C-alpha cells in the first residue's frame, strides 16, 4: 500500500459512503449473475459433466475477472482522462489505475478529491468490472458446454475479460466514450456484453460442432433455480449502470437524465412481459426452457434503454424478446449449430435493444461530463438511430474479428474440443476422479477426436 497520511473529509462524507454502498450492492449483484449462470448451465448439461461444468465455469469467471483487474478499469477510465484534457490519457490512466498503480493501492480517504474525485467509489467500481468480466468468462464456458477444452476456455476468458471487454466498454459504454460522445447510447451492456457474447457464441458453436446426442441433459430444478437467482441478481447489477448523485439525481451511464425508481420498475416490467411471451412459446412448443429464460430474453431486449424508456415501452420491447430468441434458435437448429441458450438469448434481443434505444431515445441529451473540455461538455450529444447502427457494426467487427482469429488459432494449435471418448464418458470421470491418476490413460487411442468406434474406455 501507498502510505499517505492526509485525510480528505470529502472522500469520507455521508454522500460518499452512500455511493460506496450503492456500488458494492451492484458489484455483488454482478457476481450473483455468475452463480445463476452456473445453475442454469448445470440444468442444461448431462449429469456426467456436472462437476466439471461448475469447476470450469468458476475458473473461467475468475480468469476473466483477474485479467480485467490488471488494466481493464484503466482502459475504460481513459475516456475520462481524454474528456478532462489530460496529456497522454491512456498511459496516464494505466499508470494511475493498473493493478500496481497508486490509485488502486492507496486508501481512498488519502487521495486528493481534486485529482481523484470519489476515490473509493472508483475503487469499488473496479470490483464491478471484475464481476462484469467474470460474467463474460462464465458465458464463454457456457458456449462450449460439455465439450470445450478447459485450456481453450481459459485462454478465451483471459483475452475477453482482460482486453476485449475493456476495449468494448471504452468505445461504447460511459459518458464520454468515443461513440457515446457522438450520440451512441447503452445502459447495461447491450454492445459490450450481450451482443459480444452472442457473436462469440455463434463462432464457437460453428467451430466446436454439435454435442454427442447421448451427452445432452436437462434438469428443470437447477435451471429454474438459476433463472430465479438471475432475476434476483439482475436488478442490483442494472442499478450500478448509472451515476447516483445525492441531492441531484440519478443519471444513466451515458449521463442521460433518468430516475432510479423508473429504471427499477422497467426491469420488472421487462421480466413480466418476457415471461408472458416465453410462456406462450413454451406451451405451444412444449419447451419449458422458454418459461425459464423468457424473462431474461425480455430483460436483454431492454438493456440499452432502461434509463430512457417508459415502462410501457419496455413492455413492448420485452414481449418481442422471447420470439426473437425462438427465431434465432430455429435457425441455429437448421444450421446444425448446437446452442439453444447463449446465441438465441443474447444476440437477437441485444441487437433489438440497441436499435430501439435509437428510436425511443432519439434526440435525448446525453454524453459529456461536468468539467469536460470543449467537445465533452455535459449532455452536449444527442442519441440517434444512426449511431446505434454504427455501434452494432463496430461490435460485430470487433467481436467477430477477434472471435474468428482466436478460435481458429486455438483450433489449429491446442484444439478446441475434448476428444469424443472423454465427452462420451463424461468430463467428471476424466478430470475429477482420483482413480484416473495415470497421465497415460488420458492419451488412449480411443480418445482421439477422429475415433469412430465404441465410445468407452476401460478403467
Quick one: pLDDT at residue 199?
A: 97
Q: For 120-148, how does the pLDDT look when each residue is reduced to its tens digit (9 = 90+)?
A: 999 999 999 999 999 999 999 999 999 99
Quick one: pLDDT at residue 1?
A: 66
CA–CA dist 417, 84 (Å, integer): 47
CA–CA dist 307, 76 (Å, integer): 21
145 burial (CB, 10 Å; 0-12 / 13-18 / 19+) is buried
Quick one: pLDDT at residue 216?
A: 77
In the predicted structure, residue 100 carries a pLDDT above the cut 60: yes
Percent with pLDDT over 90 in the chain: 84
Mean pLDDT, residues 36-46 taken together: 94
Q: What are phi and psi of 381, to 5 degrees?
A: -90, 170
> For 7-11, 108-112, 356-360, which range has the lowest pLDDT when averaged over its residues?
7-11
* Model confidence band, residue 446 (pLDDT cutoffs 50, 70, 90): very low
Quick one: pLDDT at residue 12?
A: 87
In the predicted structure, residue 458 carries a pLDDT above the cut 80: no
* Model confidence band, residue 4 (pLDDT cutoffs 50, 70, 90): low
Quick one: pLDDT at residue 217?
A: 79
Quick one: pLDDT at residue 245?
A: 84
* The CATH number of the domain covering residues in 9-412: 1.10.3430.10
* Model confidence band, residue 445 (pLDDT cutoffs 50, 70, 90): very low
Quick one: pLDDT at residue 256?
A: 96
CB atoms within 10 A of CB 405: 11
Which pTM does this prediction carry? 0.91
Specify whether the CB–CB gap between 358 and 393 falls below 8 A: no
Q: What angle is formed at CA 171 by the lines to CA 386 and CA 62, rounded to 5 degrees?
A: 135
* Model confidence band, residue 450 (pLDDT cutoffs 50, 70, 90): very low
For the chain, give every domain's residue range: 9-412
Mean pLDDT, residues 279-284 taken together: 96
Amino acid at each position: 500500500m501507498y502510505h499517505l497520511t492526509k485525510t480528505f473529509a470529502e472522500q469520507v462524507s455521508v454522500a460518499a459512503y452512500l455511493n460506496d454502498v450503492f456500488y458494492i450492492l451492484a458489484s455483488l449483484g454482478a457476481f450473483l449473475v455468475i452463480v445463476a449462470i452456473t445453475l442454469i448451465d448445470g440444468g442444461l448439461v448431462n449429469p456426467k459433466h456436472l462437476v466439471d461444468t461448475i469447476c470450469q465455469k468458476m475458473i473461467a469467471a475468475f480468469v476473466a475477472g483477474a485479467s480485467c483487474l490488471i488494466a481493464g478499469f484503466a482502459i475504460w477510465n481513459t475516456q475520462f482522462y481524454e474528456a478532462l484534457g489530460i496529456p497522454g490519457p491512456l498511459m496516464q490512466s494505466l499508470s494511475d489505475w493498473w493493478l500496481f498503480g497508486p490509485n488502486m493501492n492507496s486508501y481512498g480517504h488519502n487521495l486528493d478529491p481534486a485529482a481523484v474525485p470519489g476515490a473509493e467509489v472508483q475503487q469499488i467500481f473496479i470490483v464491478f468490472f471484475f464481476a462484469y468480466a467474470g460474467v463474460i468468462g462464465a458465458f464463454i464456458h457456457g458456449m462450449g458446454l460439455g465439450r470445450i477444452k478447459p485450456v481453450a476456455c481459459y485462454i478465451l476468458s483471459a483475452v475477453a475479460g482482460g482486453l476485449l471487454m475493456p476495449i468494448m466498454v471504452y468505445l461504447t459504454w460511459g459518458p464520454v466514450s468515443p461513440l457515446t460522445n457522438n450520440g451512441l447510447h447503452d445502459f447495461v451492456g447491450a454492445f459490450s456484453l450481450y451482443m459480444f457474447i452472442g457473436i462469440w457464441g455463434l463462432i464457437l458453436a460453428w467451430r466446436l460442432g454439435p454435442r454427442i446426442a447421448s451427452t445432452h441433459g436437462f434438469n428443470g430444478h437447477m435451471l429454474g433455480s438459476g433463472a430465479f437467482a438471475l432475476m434476483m441478481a439482475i436488478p442490483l447489477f442494472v442499478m450500478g449502470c448509472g451515476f447516483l448523485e445525492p441531492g441531484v439525481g440519478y443519471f444513466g451511464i451515458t449521463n442521460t437524465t433518468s430516475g432510479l425508481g423508473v429504471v427499477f420498475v422497467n426491469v420488472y416490467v421487462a421480466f413480466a412481459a418476457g415471461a408472458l411471451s416465453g410462456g406462450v412459446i413454451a406451451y405451444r412448443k412444449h419447451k419449458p426452457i422458454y418459461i425459464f429464460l423468457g424473462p431474461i430474453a425480455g430483460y436483454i431486449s431492454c438493456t440499452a434503454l432502461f434509463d430512457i424508456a417508459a415502462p410501457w415501452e419496455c413492455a413492448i420491447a420485452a414481449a418481442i424478446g422471447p420470439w426473437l430468441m425462438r427465431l434465432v434458435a430455429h435457425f441455429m437448429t437448421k444450421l446444425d449449430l448446437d446452442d439453444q441458450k447463449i446465441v438465441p438469448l443474447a444476440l437477437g434481443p441485444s441487437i433489438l435493444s440497441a436499435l430501439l434505444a435509437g428510436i425511443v431515445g432519439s434526440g435525448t441529451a446525453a454524453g459529456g461530463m461536468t468539467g469536460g473540455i470543449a467537445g465533452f461538455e455535459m449532455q452536449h450529444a444527442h442519441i440517434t438511430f444512426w449511431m446505434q447502427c454504427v455501434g452494432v457494426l463496430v461490435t460485430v467487427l470487433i467481436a467477430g474479428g477477434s472471435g474468428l482469429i482466436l478460435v481458429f488459432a486455438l483450433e489449429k494449435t491446442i484444439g478446441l474440443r475434448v476428444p469424443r471418448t472423454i465427452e462420451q464418458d463424461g468430463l467428471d470421470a476424466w478430470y475429477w476422479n482420483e482413480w484416473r491418476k495415470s497421465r497415460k490413460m488420458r492419451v488412449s487411442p480411443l480418445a482421439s477426436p477422429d475415433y469412430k468406434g465404441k465410445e468407452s474406455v476401460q478403467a
